[in-house]
Amino acid sequence: MNPLERYAPLVDDEAAFLEACERSLPSVVRVNTIKTTVERAREALDDEGVAYEPTDWHPGILKLENSSPGTNWPYFHGWLHGQEEVSALPAIALDPQPGERIWDTCAAPGSKTTQIAAMMDDEGVLIGNDNNLGRLSALRHNAERLGVTNLVVSNQDARNFSMKPFGERTPDKSGSFEQFDRVLVDAPCSCEGTCRKNPDVLDEWTMNHVASVAGIQKGILRRAVQVTKPGGTVVYSTCTFAPEENEAVLDFVLEREDCEIVAWDVPDGFETAPGITEWEDDEYDSSVTNARRVYPHQNDTGGFFTAKLEVNA
């Protein structure tokens, strides 16, 4: 059975959902505002004769009509970065501000990390962590190409992330810190929502993998809440449709950590659906409806899930 068929009860149009999942993804770039402006980037593409269409909901996200992201000089100069359209949502929900201390728990290869850096105006401290040492080279490369200077790269298991290195930066502890203002948990997952660019994920899908990765997700999200200051923000996101990896993870953490799921403003023009409170034999906290689900047929994107949590003061 196609694992996507198990989500038929969740979507408003099963046929449109399944059909969209079989189409290839549009080629999309994000304008890197550390190095340029949206207007200059568009002018550069116009001068190069690269056809593009701005998205309805974000002026800095452009759909390229007939070319791949890495084949034009604005890309080589770090003005543009290839990033799937829907994956821009977590940073928007996080709403990072210049000068803050932010942790990206699973940062490589760096699309969301560099988006966060740009939203911070490259000011403050951004910790880009990944437990896969091999993937960190991609994170470093993307950060350098895009001109990010406020990034500190770390290689830890996010479930047991230690704040000790940041509390002892200097002998007098100037510039040290023990909590973050905001944390992004873009968690490893079963990746069903990426089937438009990687159809193999459906052939490799198993319930055992879903159960296994859900345990990892719970550990990372709990640690994220624990190291975020009271009143701070944690964003949890995945590229899967599975409630076991989405609402169930949120429900688990709500019962064990002092936090709540809050509503967040999805940009106008981008269609989403609320989180669900029931799945098969399980029921979830009613606040999971503040999370947002994205299905491929809604905006011609990949699938995604994003929730915003606030740590209680």
Summarize the annotated binding site for S-adenosyl-L-methionine as residue ranges. 106-112, 130, 157, 186
d(C-alpha 261, C-alpha 275), whole Å: 11
Can you say how many angstroms the Cα of residue 299 is from the centroid of all Cα atoms in its chain?
17
d(C-alpha 39, C-alpha 45), whole Å: 10
Active-site option among 21, 191, 195, 239: 239
- The dihedral over CA atoms of 107, 108, 110, 112, expressed in degrees to the nearest 10, equals -40
* Angle in degrees, CA 275, 184, 257, rounded to 5: 70
For helices 207-226 and 247-256, give the axis angle rounded to 10 degrees: 40
Going by C-alpha positions, the residue among 125, 117, 104 that lies closest to residue 143 is 117
Structural element, H or E, at residue 157: none
**What sign does the CA torsion over 291, 297, 300, 301 have?**
positive
d(C-alpha 135, C-alpha 137), whole Å: 5
21 an active-site residue? no
d(C-alpha 228, C-alpha 101), whole Å: 10
Burial code of 5-22, b = ≥16 C-beta within 10 A, e = fewer?
A: ebbeeebeeeeebbebbe
Token pair, residue 186, equals 């873009």
Binding-site residues? 106-112, 130, 157, 186
d(C-alpha 45, C-alpha 66), whole Å: 12
Token pair, residue 209, equals 């993998």
Is cis: bond before 109, omega within 30 of 0?
yes
Residues classed as catalytic: 239
